[in-house]
Structure formats: structure tokens, C-alpha cells
Amino acid sequence: MTIDSKSGGEAPETGPRRQLYGRSKGKALRAAQVGRMATMLPALAIDVAALKDEPAALFSGQPEALMLEIGFGGGEHLAAMAKLHPEIGYFGVEPFLNGVAKLLAAIEQDGLTNIRALRGDAREVLAALPDASLDRVYLLYPDPWPKRRQRKRRIVDDDFLAEVARVLKQGCELRFATDIDDYAGWTLARIAQQDTLVWCAETADDWRQPWPEWHRTRYEEKALREGRVPGYFRFRRHALG
């Protein structure tokens, strides 16, 4: 999961940049996980300062494209995509310590060299990235914060969407998945209030069915077991004027 939001047609929240909410860690890490955090993560860490110059330089070689997954949870989707596309550079950001540890295990197991990760706030990465530097952004199952008083904690707001649109190349996509109807409505309402990201759906199946190469996450498996139906949304960056 991720760090944030949900409702339908309410006015968006405004104000200063928000803090991160939710758990930062769960069960104590096992010895092997502690070891990977100490030895692997420093070498794979996203250097936020370096993003301002040339994001592709954080990878060995020259990746054909750059993608960012915000709140990668246990890293199932991120690792699967990186394995499937070794020619692409993947950035992943997740505040939950145990999720980062799981991703490192997958990186080690499959010998992945095209992932750079950060335990922290994805909004810092977005702010550091140059304009039109990413080919895709994934936001998969962000924390819904369902209670009305919690909705200001959601990651999807006007500022977030503006930053995502800024860093995406023209014609490239934000891909968003949620099993919470209210969060889907919240997001679509905010998409409708801006003019740089356009919902790609033409038929109902365009959001009922996952996009090609979708890799199911543990959170989605839990949602399906509990009877919640996921929605899969694609928003394309287009030029103004």
C-alpha cells in the first residue's frame, strides 16, 4: 500500500505539504533482513539530490525509460516489473520498513540491478525530479483513510496530481489501482478538476480489468478474499493548448 486518501465530489484539501501518516514499521526484522538493509539499501538508495540533474544516472548503463512506483508495499509489483523489463529503470518509494526489507529480498533473489529504492516520502522524490523525466508513475492501493476526519491524509490531492503531471513525459501515464469505491471517486473528482491528466477509459472494462502486464500484489489478493473489487485507472499526461 502507500501513504494516503478518499471521498467523491468534495472540494479538495489545500494547505502546506503534509506529513506521512500510518505505520513506519511492523514486526522486528529477521537477521537476514537487517543484513540486507545494512548492506544492500545504501547501494540501491535513491539519491534525492542527484535526481535534479539526471535521474537516469542513478542506474548503471542507460535505461530506455524511467518509472516510479509510489508506496510499493512488499514490492511484489515493482520487483516483477523490473524482472520483466531489465531495460527500464525503476524507482520505488515506501515508508514502511518491513516492505522495503521484502523488496530487498526479491532484488537479491532475482539479481535485479534496475531498481533504486527509498524508505520515505514519495513527494520528496517527485519534487526533486526534473520536468518530463518519467515514462510512468504507479500508485497502487494507497491507504484509503476512510473516516472523514482522516481524508486530509490521503496522498491524492491537487498538489500531488500537479507534481505527477509535471514529471511525466507528454503521452505517458499515471496508473492507479484501488479496491475502495470512495477513493476511486475521490481521485476521479480531482482528476476532473485539473487539465493535464486525462482519464483514458472509454468503456467500463477499461477500469474493471487490469492493464497488460499487471502483477497482483498481496494487498490485492487480500482485497479479493474479502470481497472487495479492484478498479484500475489510467491517466494520460497531455499538453495544454
pLDDT digits (tens, 9 = 90+) for 206-220: 999 999 999 999 999
pLDDT confidence of residue 25: 53
Residue-wise DSSP of the chain: --S----SSPPPP-SSPPPP-S-S--SPPPHHHHHHHHHTHHHHB--HHHHTT-GGGGSSS--SEEEEEES-TTSHHHHHHHHH-TTEEEEEE-S-HHHHHHHHHHHHHHT--SEEEESS-HHHHHHHSPTT-EEEEEEES-----SGGGGGG-S-SHHHHHHHHHHEEEEEEEEEEES-HHHHHHHHHHHHT-SSEEE--SSTHHHHSPPTT----HHHHHHHHTTPPPEEEEEEE----
Residues near 19 by beta carbon (within 8 Å), at least 6 away in sequence: none
The pTM assigned to this predicted structure is: 0.87
Counting every residue, how long is the chain? 241
Active site residue 143: yes
* Terminal Cα distance for the chain, rounded: 35
Across the chain, mean pLDDT equals 88
CB burial class (10 A; 0-12, 13-18, 19+) of residue 227?
exposed
Name the band, by pLDDT with cuts 50, 70 and 90, for residue 18: low
Domains of the chain: 31-237 (3.40.50.150)
Convert the pLDDT of each residue in 24-36 to its tens digit.
Answer: 455 788 898 999 9
Average pLDDT over residues 100-108: 96
Q: What was the pLDDT predicted at 241?
A: 53
Q: How much is the pLDDT for 17?
A: 46
Average pLDDT over residues 82-106: 96
Q: For 50-86, how does the pLDDT look when each residue is reduced to its tens digit (9 = 90+)?
A: 999 899 999 998 999 999 999 999 999 999 999 999 9
The model's pLDDT over 118-143, given as tens digits with 9 standing for 90+, comes to 999 999 999 999 999 999 999 999 98
pLDDT level of residue 150 (50, 70, 90 thresholds): low
Q: Residues 4, 121, 135, 143: which is the catalytic one?
A: 143
The separation between CA 42 and the C-alpha centre of its own chain, rounded to angstroms, equals 21
